[in-house]
Amino acid sequence: MTRTFKATAVALMMTASAAMAEDAASLVAVVTDGDAQTQLMSMVLTNQAIDRGVPTRILLCGPGGDIALAEAPETATAPQPPRGASPQGLLKAAIAKGATVEVCAIYLPGKGADASALIEGVGVAEPPAMAEALLDRTTRIWSF
């Protein structure tokens, strides 16, 4: 009886996980944290979603935007354990896989910079388009 219950529970969890994945037509990952580990983990998980075929947008704001700078702080580019990856390195991997990456519309003006300060493949978010993406019922939103 206990075995049957456990098997049923596992089957339900697997079905629920698959159903939840099917419900998310797209992902918007919002990165605002300046902590290097948080930035790295946000990119690890976001790349996992991309690898599973989920169309993905990444919105970088405040200190989170620093990982998109051509002259990024060392915390964004330094290899971290356990695999020697960096937040910017995994951001570039997400771009190469087709993710749309944008900094908040106020990020560059707040830095006194323009789009030339960004790495290749990163644009500036248009608030109406980003609001539409965030409000879409089929979009999953992750915030880091």
Give CA–CA dist 58/81, Å, rounded.
23
Joined tokens for residue 35: 């902590």
Instruction: Identify the pLDDT of residue 24.
Output: 73
pLDDT at 21 over 50: no
Instruction: Identify the pLDDT of residue 23.
Output: 59
pLDDT (average), residues 96-119: 98
Tens-place pLDDT, residues 127-143: 999 999 999 999 999 99
Give CA–CA dist 76/68, Å, rounded.
9
CB within 8 Å of 22: residues ≥ 6 apart: none
Instruction: Identify the pLDDT of residue 3.
Output: 52
pLDDT, greater one: 70 or 6: 70
Q: Is the separation of the CB atoms in 121 and 92 below 8 Å?
A: yes
Q: What three-state secondary structure class fits 72?
A: coil
- Mean pLDDT, rounded, of the chain: 89
Q: Which residues pair with 29 in a beta bridge?
A: 58, 142
Give CA–CA dist 102/100, Å, rounded.
7
CB within 8 Å of 134: residues ≥ 6 apart: 28, 141
Tens-place pLDDT, residues 60-106: 999 999 999 999 999 999 999 999 999 999 999 999 999 999 999 99
Instruction: Identify the pLDDT of residue 78.
Output: 97
